[in-house]
Amino acid sequence: MAPPPEFASTSFDGGNEPGVESPLTGSLVELFFPTGISTVCEPSWRVEGDVHDPDNQLLAAEFVQWPGPASAAGARVRFTPPTAGSYLVTVRFEPSLGLFQRVLHVGRDRRAEPRIVDAMPFPSSECLTLDRTHAGAVVCQRSTGAALVVVRAGMIAQTFPSATASVIGNTVWVVTDQRLERYVDTGASLSLTASLRANRRFSSNKGFFDEDRAVLLDGAELRGPVRWNGSELVDERLVRGNGNAILLGSLVLTFDGSLVCDTTSSCTPRFPVGVDGDGLWTADGAQTFSLITELRATGTRFTVPFYGSVAGLPFPINGSFTPQLHPYMAPYELFTIVRSAGGPVLERWPGGARLTHNFVFVDASATSVTWMRR
């Protein structure tokens, strides 16, 4: 069996800009398989093949001869992927001239999804950070006065002086220098469920927050995880070190800029670019990423179809952080990698969009902000 042809070229229909080779659902995919196989002794050579979708079901596809120089065998394959995920393309040159395979990752186009518009009593440009709960509260960290403002139906509903917030679903963690407070959006207001006092001085800068747990700086050291047990906040006192905190399922990790360490101070060199539940995304190269669920695991490798840039984890992290990719040939485009039942999937978002845990900020005016639901 011949190895997969790394030099196989690909083109896509559907309005993709030049240089951004990203196949999306519903767009025509055209694959070319050039080979060095001579057909001089087989003038009646033919092309056959199969395309299997992410559920391992056969998909209708067109296979035609595409001869190369010096009568070399080649093939053109065309198909339209209906769903996102990994497609296995197999090409056979008969009679018994060679077999080639390629895995193609097909992404989702999220650019035309429905918008949610929230009225604002002041321009969103006044917000250092901006987020939204599932129940519809807009949470703004104002650049003037260091106040945290909760906007509902275009009106300021609540104000928290000298505070910062992390929003995950309907959970809102509010941090002041002396208190950590956990709120839940009831749809009418943010309702306080529990609070915890600082030993020294709280800061969320290196922290990690999910719906029921939080790690944050208390003085110069990380504290927590602090866990909501249904009635109060309990300090589990598991975190060690003073790097940046990462909660990876049941694992408590720290990252110092080059090493990821666990609670036993066992470390491994990694460059984290995303957190998704119990999975940590790491960058392995310009196009290749790995999703690991254990500190030293090899993980699931995923290769994107373009060269681009990806940022490291920004702290604090609110529930998760999806790897965000910008192609070099179209630096204003935004792609993300998400987990799915069938494996990692690439998603395309409007250029200039800003992602939060549950929503995507896509536009703003003097009186409103516009979101897309993730």
Tell me the whole-structure pTM to 2 decimals.
0.85
The candidate with the shortest Cα–Cα distance to 331, out of 79, 88, 15, 17, is: 17
Which of 190, 243, 183 is closest to 216 using CA atoms?
Answer: 243
pLDDT of res. 21: 54
| pLDDT for res 341 | 80
- In 174-197, which positions are buried (b, 16+ CB within 10 angstroms) versus exposed (e)? bbbeeebbbbbbeeeebeeebebe
Q: How many residues does the chain have?
A: 374
Task: Give the Cα separation of 345 and 324 in Å (integer).
Answer: 13
What pLDDT is attached to residue 16? Answer: 36
Cα(237)–Cα(227) distance, rounded to whole angstroms? Answer: 10
Residues in contact with 137: Cβ distance below 8 Å, sequence separation at least 6, in sequence order? 150, 151, 152, 157, 172, 185, 190
CA atoms 143, 200, 321, 229: torsion sign = negative
41: Cα within 13 Å, side-chain hemisphere: 5
Q: Using an 8 Å Cβ cutoff, are 289 and 305 in contact?
A: no
Please state, as a whole number, how many other Cβ atoms lie within 10 Å of the Cβ of residue 372.
Answer: 20
At 371, list the tokens. Answer: 């979101």
DSSP 19: T
Identify the pLDDT of residue 241.
Answer: 73
324-327 long-range contacts, CB within 8 A, separation 24+: 324/355, 327/19, 327/20, 327/22
Task: Encode pLDDT of 192-244 as tens digits.
Answer: 999 999 999 999 999 999 999 999 999 999 999 999 999 999 999 998 777 99
Q: Which residues of the chain have pLDDT under 50?
A: 1-20
pLDDT at 22: 65
**Residue 306: predicted pLDDT:** 84
CA-to-CA separations, 339 to 48, 160, 221, in angstroms, rounded: 33, 35, 32
What integer pLDDT is reported at residue 19 of this predicted model? 41
pLDDT of residue 146: 79
Instruction: Say whether 343 sits in a helix, a strand or coil.
Output: coil
Q: How far apart are CA 227 and CA 340, in angstroms?
A: 27
Q: Find, among 243, 252, 198, the residue nearest to 222 by Cα.
A: 243
Question: Tell me, what's the pLDDT at 101?
Answer: 93
Return d(Cα 287, Cα 309) in angstroms, integer.
9
